[in-house]
A and B are shown apart, each in its own frame.
Chain A
Amino acid sequence: MSKLTDAIFCKNLPVRDLKNANRVNLWAIAWAASLAIISFISRYDWYSATLPIALAFVFSSGIGVGMFLAYKRFLKELDELERKIQLDALASSVGVTLVVFGGYSILDKAGLAPELQASSLIVLMALTYMAGIIVGRIRYQ
């Protein structure tokens, strides 16, 4: 059990890496919040005008770019074993998502499954990425 908690919280990373990881987490929370806010306000009639939609697009995309740059910096400065674990987890996440998307598309076109939501793919990517990190950290303990 302690192996699993150590893998999840990763308390032995250098302070610099923990600070960078916290920055990435804050950007990710802000990005998710921006999507939730935009989803909420899209119910109102005034939102159908071009200007609010453009502002919402720029607002959310800007936060997304910030998140991406923070993650890039995090990876660049990261402890090298942890970087390998992160890259392996990213590879697993992309691979699993592509395979599931391909398989689901076949079922979707055949009318055997409901239409695929983009949000489901984001959740799948996030879950496989997190699982990949935990498995990687346990493997190298």
Chain B
Amino acid sequence: MKNRLKVLRAERDWTQARLASELEVSRQTVNAIEKEKFDPSLPLAFKISRLFEMPIEEIFSE
């Protein structure tokens, strides 16, 4: 699954550690999602969507 997490994070000038802290996950989890090695669970995807104030489908795509 593709995602725009890295771009959205860069737009806000956030580090991976800052994003991980906001999402209450490890930095490795953020890194693995950005590198598209790991697909987040639905609750985490909703959390990301709420944090960036965007619909899920604008962040994640097939």
Query: Interface centre among A17, A80, A81, A84, by most B CB within 10 Å?
Result: A81
Docked pose: A85 CA to B42 CA in angstroms: 18
Q: Using a CB–CB distance below 8 Å, which chain A residues touch chain B?
A: 12-14, 17, 79-82, 84, 137, 139-141
Docked pose: A17 CA to B26 CA in angstroms: 10
The 8 A-B residue pairs with the shortest CB-CB distance, nearest first, are: A81-B29, A79-B26, A140-B32, A12-B27, A79-B25, A12-B26, A81-B32, A80-B41
Task: Count residues of B near A (Cβ-Cβ below 8 Å).
Answer: 13
Min CB distance, A20 to chain B, in Å?
A: 13
Q: Using a CB–CB distance below 8 Å, which chain B residues touch chain A?
A: 24-29, 31-32, 37-38, 40-41, 44
> Do A84 and B38 touch across chains, with their CB atoms under 8 A apart?
yes
Not counting A79-B29, A81-B28, A81-B29, a sample of 9 additional A-B residue pairs whose C-beta atoms are within 8 angstroms of each other reads A12-B28, A17-B26, A80-B29, A80-B41, A81-B26, A81-B32, A139-B37, A140-B31, A140-B38
List, in ascending order, chain B residues with CB within 8 A of A141's CB: 28, 31
Tell me which of A80, A137, A139, A140 contacts B25 (CB under 8 A): A80
B26 to chain A: closest residue by CB: A79
List, in ascending order, chain B residues with CB within 8 A of A12's CB: 26-28
Query: Interface centre among A13, A80, A139, A141, by most B CB within 10 Å?
Result: A80
A13 to chain B: closest residue by CB: B26
Docked pose: A79 CA to B20 CA in angstroms: 11
Docked pose: A140 CA to B33 CA in angstroms: 9
Docked pose: A50 CA to B37 CA in angstroms: 55
Docked pose: A46 CA to B38 CA in angstroms: 57
List, in ascending order, chain A residues with CB within 8 A of B41's CB: 80
> Do A80 and B40 touch across chains, with their CB atoms under 8 A apart?
yes
> Do B38 and A81 touch across chains, with their CB atoms under 8 A apart?
yes
A140 to chain B: closest residue by CB: B32
